[in-house]
Amino acid sequence: MACLLEAPLRISVLSEVTATSRHYVDRLFDPDPQKVLQGVIDMKNAVIGNNKQKANLIVLGAVPRLLYLLQQSSSSLELRTECAVVLGSLAMGTENNIKSLVDCHIIPALLQGLLSPDLIFIEACLRCLRTVFISPVTPVQLLYTDPTVIPHLMSLLSNSQRTQEYITQIFSHCCKTPEHQTVLFNHGAIQNIAPLLISPSYKVRMQALKCFSVLAYENTQVSMTLVNVLVDGELLSQVFVKMMQRDQPIEMQLTAAKCDVSASYLHFMCFSLLSVQTLPCLVRMCSKEHLLEERVEGAETLAYLMEPDVELQRIASTTDHLVAMLADYFKYPSSVSAITDIKRLDHDLKHAHELRQAAFKLYASLGSNDEDIRKKITETENMMDRIVSGLSESSIKVRLAAVRCLHSLSRSVQQLRTSFHDHAVWKPLMKLLQNAPDEVLVMASSTLCNLLLEFSPSKEPILESGVIELLCSLTQSDSSALRVNGIWALMNMAFQADQKVKVEIVRCLGTEQLFRLLSDPDTNVLMKTLGLLRNLLSTRPHIDQIMSSHGKQIMQAVTLILEAEHSIEVKEQTLCILANIADGNTAKELIMTNDDMLQKIKYYMGHSNVKLQLAATFCISNLIWNEEDGSQERQDKLREMGFVDVLHKLTQASDPNLSDRAKTAMQQYLA
d(CA 410, CA 442): 15
Report if residue 591 sits inside a domain.
yes
Whether the predicted model's global pTM rises above the 0.95 cut? no
Cross-strand partners of 251: none
Each residue's pLDDT tens digit, 489-522? 999 999 999 999 999 999 999 888 988 999 899 9
Each residue's pLDDT tens digit, 59-102? 999 999 999 999 999 999 999 999 999 999 999 988 999 999 99
- Supply the pLDDT for residue 671: 62
Closest to 192 measured CA to CA, from 227, 163, 217: 163
CATH at 659: 1.25.10.10
Among the residues of 465-584, which ranges form H helices? 467-474, 480-494, 499-509, 511-517, 523-536, 540-563, 568-582
d(CA 483, CA 489): 10
CA distances from 668 to 46, 296, 455, 622, 648 (A): 100, 67, 36, 10, 12
- Supply the pLDDT for residue 599: 95
360 phi/psi in degrees, rounded to 5: -60, -40
d(CA 117, CA 134): 25
Report if residue 597 sits inside a domain.
yes
Report if residue 580 sits inside a domain.
yes
Report if residue 233 sits inside a domain.
no
Per 3-state DSSP, what percentage of the chain is helix, strand, and coil (rounded to 5)?
A: 75, 0, 25
- Supply the pLDDT for residue 282: 87
Report if residue 631 sits inside a domain.
yes
d(CA 524, CA 567): 11
- Supply the pLDDT for residue 263: 55
Report if residue 45 sits inside a domain.
no
d(CA 109, CA 124): 13
SS3 235: strand
- Supply the pLDDT for residue 223: 79
Report if residue 614 sits inside a domain.
yes
Closest to 575 measured CA to CA, from 524, 552, 609, 525: 609
Q: pLDDT under 50 in the chain at which residues?
A: 1-16, 265-272, 335-336
C-beta contacts of 541-549 below 8 A and 24+ residues apart: 541/499, 542/499, 542/502, 543/580, 543/581, 543/583, 543/584, 543/587, 544/584, 544/585, 544/586, 544/587, 545/499, 545/503, 546/502, 546/506, 547/581, 547/584, 547/586, 547/587, 547/590, 548/586, 548/587, 549/506
Q: Which amino acid appears at position 246 of this protein?
A: R
DSSP 278: I
DSSP 598: H
Domain count, the chain: 1
Q: Are 226 and 236 in contact (CB under 8 A)?
A: yes
Report if residue 439 sits inside a domain.
no
State the residue range of the domain holding 647.
Answer: 537-670
